[in-house]
Chains A and B, each alone.
Chain A
C-alpha cells in the first residue's frame, strides 16, 4: 500500500490536469449519450411520425456533437498523456537520484539489468496506467451509470432488472484480480531477469567470444526467454478463464432487454420507441462489463510494477551525510569547508559478510605527505581508501580527516576534495575530453590538456585522428590498459584535490611513463596528501610512509630504507622484483651519461 501512496504523491502534482481530464471525460460520456438519443428522436419523430422538418436540426446537432466530441477526445487524451509523462519524468528523476545515493552494500547485491528494468519496463506499466487505464475505467463507469440512469427514466423496473448483473460482475472481477496478481508479479520478475541476463551478455561479450561460449550463452538465454514467455502466457491464461464470464454477463443485458423489454411493450408499459432508445443505450452497459477483465489485468500489472519500483526506491543507503542542525535545531545544509588533508586511521576495522576485510589499522599522515601502500592481492589496500572516501563505513574505529571523523562530515564535501583514480578504470562512452573533465565539467580545454600532460596522456591522445574529441567506448574499449589508466589519472588530477588516491594506477604503463608521471606528481603536489597503492616498489619508494599490508592488517610500516633494513616482506618483494640488480650495467650507464654530458 505504501507503494500506491508513493505513486499518488507523484500524481498529486498533476491533480489539476487529472481533474481537467476527468472533467473532459465526463463531458464526452455525456455527449456520447446524446447521439443515440438524437437517433432515437430521428427514428421516433422523423421517420415514424413524419416530422421531416426536424431532420435538418437533428442532423446538424448530430454532426456538431460529434465534432465537439472529437476535439475533446483528442484533448483529454493529450491531457492524460501529459500527466502520465509528467509523473514518469518525476518518478524517473527520483529513482535516478536515489540510485546515485545508494552505497556499495546496495550495488553489491543488485544486477545492473535488474536496476535498469525499474527505470524502463516497469515504468511503462505506470505510463499505461496513468495515461489510459484511469480514464478508461472512469469513462466506462460513467457510461454505465449514465446509461443506467437513462434507462431508469424510461422504466424503473427494466433498469433494476439490468442492475442485477452487477453483483456477479463484481464477484468475477474480485476473483480474477486475486488470481492474476501473482502472475503479473512473476511476469515482472522474469522481465527483469531477462534484462539482466542480456545486459551482462552484452557487457561480457569479449569473454564470451574468447571462450567460444556463444552456444552456452544462447542456451542460457533461451532459458530466460522461455521463462519470460511462459510468465506472459500464464498471465493471459488467467484472463482467458474470466473473459467468457464477463462476455456472457454482458450479453445477458441484451437478453433481459429482449424478453423483459419485449414483454413490457406487449403489456404496453413502455412504447416501442422506448425499447429502441434503451437498445441504443445498451452498448454503454455492455462495453464496461466486457472490458472489466482488461482493466483488472492492467491495474494488477500496474500494481506489480509500482511495487517493484518502490521496493528499489525505498532501500535506504547506510552511508549518508548525517543531519546537520543549527543552534535552534533546524536542519541546515552542511557548510562547504576546505579540507587540508591530515589523515588519521584510529583502530579501524571493517567487516563485511562475516569476513574481516581490514583489522586494527592505525596510522596518521600530515597534509602534503605521500603514503605508499603495498601488499598481496586482496590484502585490503583498496578497502582502506574506500573507508577514507566513505564508500564503506568502518565497523569500529575512526577515520579522521583534519581531525574530524568522516562519518560526521558532509559526504559530498569530503569526496569533492578527494581525487581518486581507481583500480578498475571505468570510462564513459563520451569524448576523451569529457572523460577527463568528468569531475569538473565546466573547466577549460587548456586545463584538460594540462592534466593530460601531467598524466602523460597528451601524447597518445593527440596522435588519435580526432584527438580529444575521440569517443571512447563504454568502459574505455578501444584503448589499451595503460591508456585508460592515464586518462583516469588525468581525470583525478584535474579535480585538483586535497587528497589524491592512486589505486594501482600505473600497473599497465611502462616504466618510463611511470617515472615521468612520478616526476610530474612531485612537482605539482606540494600540499596534497597522496596515497599510492602499487605492486611495483618503484611506484612507492619515495613515499613518506609505506604501509605493507597482508590479510587485512598492516604488517610493516616505515620508509623505503627502514623497510629494506628490516628485511621483511617489503625487502623480500624488492629482491623479488628486481632480482639481481645489474649494478655493473647501471655503473656503465652512469659513466656513459657522464661522458655524454662532457
Chain B
C-alpha cells in the first residue's frame, strides 16, 4: 500500500458492523454482573415510578369523587418514597456506569497503545503520525458516551418498554396492539437511511483524522513553514481540511437528526388511531373499555414512545461509534511481522560475534536491497560501512537489531540465530544510535537515562562525560534538569546527537551501532569522543556508518557497500592499496585542495 498523506482518506478494509459490536461486547463482559445489578436497580426504580400514574388515576377515579383527603395525602407520600428511591438509584447508576464506561475506555485505549508498541517501523512510516494518534486518543474518547450512558440506558429502556407494554396489555389488549403497529414503521425508516448514515460517519472520521494529521505536522514543521513564509498557503490547506471536516460532519448529523422527528411522527399517528378507535370501542354496545381506562391508556402512550425515542438516539450514537470502533479495531488487528517466534528463547549475554550468512532483504517485493550478504565480525571489532546514499548501509545495521526480518539467509550473534530469540532480550543488549536523535519531553537527565532506567545520576553524568556532553549540559540554566522537548528546544543538532549517544552508552550495550551518529558533531569534539570511546569499545563489537572518513579510518574492517552488495572489504590501508571504490571515495575528500 502506498504511503498515506495528510489529505488522503485511509481505506478501510474490514467494515462489518456486527463484528465490531461483538468485539466491543468482549470489553464489556467483565462488568456484566455489575451492569445487571444496575439494570435491576433501574428497572425496579422505573417499575416503581410507573406506579405514579396509577396513584394519580386512583386519586382521580376514587379519592377525589370520594373526597378522601387522607388517601390523597397518602398517595402523595407514596410518590415521595418512589421519588427518593429512583433518585438514589439514578445517582448510583451514574457513578457505577461512569466507572465502568471509563474502565472500558481505559482497556481499549490500553490495547491499542500496547499493540502499537509492537508494530514495526513501516507502520509508522506509512502514514502521518497524527493519524495514529487520533485513534488512540480522540476516537477512543468518542465512544465513551456510548459506554457510560448508552448501554445501561438502552437496556433499562428496553425493559421499561416491556413493562409499559405489560401495563398497557393489562388495560386493554386491542389498544396495545394498535400502539405496537408503530414499530414496524420505525424499522422501515431505519433500514432506509442506515447505509448512507453509516457511510457518512465513516467519511467524517476520516476527515477528522486528516485534520489531526495536518495539525501535528504544522506544529512539528513550524520552523520550515516560517522560514519559507508558507503561512498563507498552509492556512489555506488547513482551512480546506477544516471545511471538509465541517461538511462531512454536517452531512452525518443530518441523518441523525431525522430520527427524532420520525419517532414523533409515528407516535402521533398511532396516538390518533388510539383516540379514534378507542372512542369507537367505548361506544360499542358490548364494550369492556371504560372512559377511565382510555384516559389512563393515553397517559401510557407517551411513556411508550419516550424510551423508543432514547433507543433511537442510542442507535444514532451506536452508528457514530462504530465508525470510530472499526478504526480502533483495525489498528489492534494490524499484523505484527516482526515478533517473537513461538519457541523463542532468551538471548544469552552477548559476547559480540556477529555473522551474516547469505542475507537477502527487500522492503517491497521485487526490489532487492541486500543480495546474499556475508561477513563475520568478531567480538570487539569495529566494522565500518561506507558507500553511496541508498546503498543499503542502514538496512544492514537495522537487520542486526531485527527491526526487519530477513527474506532469506541468517543473522547469527555468537552463533545464535537472532530470529530464534526474543526481540526484547536481543535489543536490550544493543545500543543503537540513529541519525535522527529523538528527544522526549522531559529533562536531559531523563532523556539520557532512557537507555537504562535503573542508572544512577552519577552514571548518567559519567556517560555524558564520555561523550563530551557534560560541559554544555552543565552550562545550561538547570544543568541536567533543564527541560527539553521533542523539537529539541535550544539544543543544537550536534548536542542532541551527543545526548542520544550518551543514552546509547548508558544502555551498556554489547553491540553498538552508530548510524550517522556523529554527523552533526564537530571534528574536535569527535576526536575527544573517540578517545573516550576507544576505552569503552575494547570488548564490544561496533558498527559505524559515517560519511566523514576520519571517523572510520581506524576501523578493523571497512566494507564498501553498493547496490546491495559488499564490493570491497578490508582495513583502511588495504583498501587504499586496492585503489578501488574506497580509494576513490577517500581521495575525493582532497579534491578541494587541487
Contact = CB atoms under 8 A, between A and B. Distances in A.
Contacts of B507: 211
Given A247-B86, A375-B522, A541-B592, A92 B242 contact: yes
Interface of B is mostly: helix
A219 B549 CA distance: 42
Given A241-B91, A439-B229, A258 B137 contact: no
Interface stretch (B27-35, B157-165, B373-381, B472-480): B472-480
B360 to A, nearest CB: 19
Contact of B113 (A88, A218, A377, A495): A218
Contacts of B137: 121, 191, 194-195, 198
Contact of A258 (B55, B124, B221, B367): B55
Nearest to A431: B5
Interface stretch (B15-23, B179-187, B191-199, B491-499): B491-499
Given A112-B219, A262-B69, A507-B519, A67 B488 contact: no
Contacts of B14: none
B590 A581 contact: yes
Contact of B264 (A46, A73, A576): A73
B44 interface: no
Interface in A129-167: none
Contact of B519 (A416, A481, A582): A481
B405 interface: no
A47 B279 contact: yes
Contact of B72 (A111, A243, A259, A471): A259
B94 interface: yes
B417 interface: no
Nearest to B426: A212
Nearest to B471: A378
A438 B248 CA distance: 28
Contacts of B472: 377-378
Contact of A120 (B86, B144, B212, B227): B212
Interface string B62-75: 01100101001101
Contacts of A168: none
A309 interface: no
Nearest to A52: B279
B555 to A, nearest CB: 15
Most chain-B Cβ atoms within 10 A of its Cβ — which of A86, A240, A582? A240
A220 B344 CA distance: 27
A329 interface: no
B550 A577 contact: yes
Contacts of A109: 485
B430 to A, nearest CB: 8
A104 to B, nearest CB: 8
Interface residues of A, number: 181
A217 B402 CA distance: 20
A111 B549 CA distance: 38
A429 B6 contact: yes
Given A70-B264, A259-B76, A377-B498, A389 B227 contact: yes
A586 B593 contact: yes
Given A207-B450, A429-B128, A511-B588, A46 B435 contact: no
B174 interface: no
A577 B553 CA distance: 11
Given A206-B121, A229-B102, A251-B79, A198 B136 contact: yes
A47 B76 contact: no
Contacts of A324: none
A423 B520 contact: yes
Nearest to A205: B124
B254 to A, nearest CB: 7
Contact of B90 (A99, A247, A429, A581): A247
Interface in A229-263: 229, 232-233, 236-237, 239-241, 243-245, 247-248, 251-252, 254-255, 258-259, 262-263
A158 B388 CA distance: 92
Given A225-B109, A258-B55, A377-B522, 18 more contacts: A81-B257, A97-B231, A203-B129, A221-B110, A251-B79, A251-B87, A254-B79, A258-B59, A259-B72, A279-B56, A378-B472, A428-B221, A471-B5, A481-B516, A507-B519, A508-B435, A508-B516, A573-B524
